[in-house]
Structure 1
Amino acid sequence: MLLNVEGVDAYCYTGGKPFDASLPTVVFIHGAQNDHSVWALQTRFFAHHGYGVLAVDLPGHGRSQGAAKASVEALADWLLAVLDAAGVRQAALFGHSMGSLIALEAAFRAPDRVTHLGMIGSTYPMKVSDALLETARTDEAAAIDMVNIWSHSSATRKPSSAGPGTSVMDGARRLMQRISAINPALVFHTDFSACNSYANGEAAAQSVRCPTLFLFGRKDMMTPARSTKLLTSTIAHGKVVQVDSGHSLMSEQPDAVREALYGFVSR
């Protein structure tokens, strides 16, 4: 589904069913150098089990037009504008990695519009090493390879993957390469810089009153468990669930992620 947001097209995948704003809405927000497709299994399930689904392509990613936005704050404002354009008053927000910061900031800016907050593969501060930032600026292909190695717990196929011959790691790599091909404006560096410079996370976390789920990978090297304590202690009412994966939870353990998210909003 294409929406007009800030004068340009914004794409939202609706899970294989027409979007119905009268249903409870769940918004899925991807991370750096990704698009809506990282939520493929989860979004289709929600769309076929009584929810309106909006899995966004952030500006400059996938099918959404415009330049990639340089700050989490600007992305949160854009996300709220997407809700306006879709005719949605309230929604559950599920964000992965950078997307989790966008969801958190949107909840801070418009708390009455967020019914549930899902923080997947999240941490705060979400600092990016100087070496990775520089590599993303000067050699995006190398940065893609680095992040894909760090984001997966192993190169082997997981039980809930698509089947023999499927490579979760190679699929993630090809998606990032595709984002580079359709938008050569150093999207990865822009995304990483936005994560690295975001400074309102603690204040935003202190303001959260809606039900909150933290979903972490036990083997996550990008946002390891030891780095999540500020968020989980500040949002003390949040529930913490861990799955056997690295940072790419939705592709490494899609069924476990689906079950955790669905159970969170439907109970």
Structure 2
Amino acid sequence: MDNLYIPDLATLEQIQEETPSIRTLTLALDRPRTFNCQPGQFIEFTVFGQGEFPVSVAGVSDAQRGRFQVTIQRAGKVTKEVFQLQPGAKLGVRGPFGNGFPLEKMQGQDVWLISGGVGLAALWYLLAQLQEQRGRWGQLKLLYGARSPQDIIYQDALRALGRDQAGPQVLLTVDSAANGWSGRVGFVSQLLPDSGLDPGKSVAVVCGPGPMMKATTAALRKLGLAEERILLSMERRMQCGMGACGHCMVGSKRVCLDGPVFPLAEISNLLEEKF
């Protein structure tokens, strides 16, 4: 990416339908370059003739070839067009941008990934990196909530993680469920009081809808977890990705340039307004 404002061409190689309104795309850059992406970073995704939007990188399957995944929810005019795309489509990619998660600060700690809805996509590449370097961390736990069983993304992968004795402990919950769901019902923040979190040796990473993040940070603080140990991905607030539009401002912070990952201690006084 020689010019940050000009997107690289990429080809849509594969589509995975997660839910009726969420799909995961595998993209490959047409001009091969190393796709240096840290967990938590994002790209600007261009649908030519329609516009662009920011989206977190959900996985990198071949960094040398520039092959990676994004998970996109239909939420507006441009994202709606993503659901008309077929394999072979040409798209634009700028980035990756942003600061990513501070893996070095997590070393030796229990790591708690807490997410809701499509927010799990912003943590998915982080989870892959944590598993790849498993010996660097303590316990790994994934707490994930969705509106209903049908709204859970990455269902096959989550089932596989649940069967993997060397993998993270996976706790799932849904806001509401019809007959046939045998799992937990309730908000993901309600899983925390009896979870066994040790505030002295844990780091929590949180991403999801605003109300979920607000409730989760409150529950974590109630358990005694210091605000410096709570990391928030604020990717849902981004727009231009270049710090120009001001849409993502959180106080004096520009999420696309200063984030999207922040310790709660840096922005805790602003959460009431932004959530």
Write 1 or 2 for the structure with the bigger share of helix. 1
Higher relative contact order (CA 8 A, sep 6+): 1
Please report the TM-score for the alignment, with normalisation by the length of structure 2: 0.32
As a proportion of its length, which structure holds more strand?
Answer: 2
TM-score by length of 1: 0.33
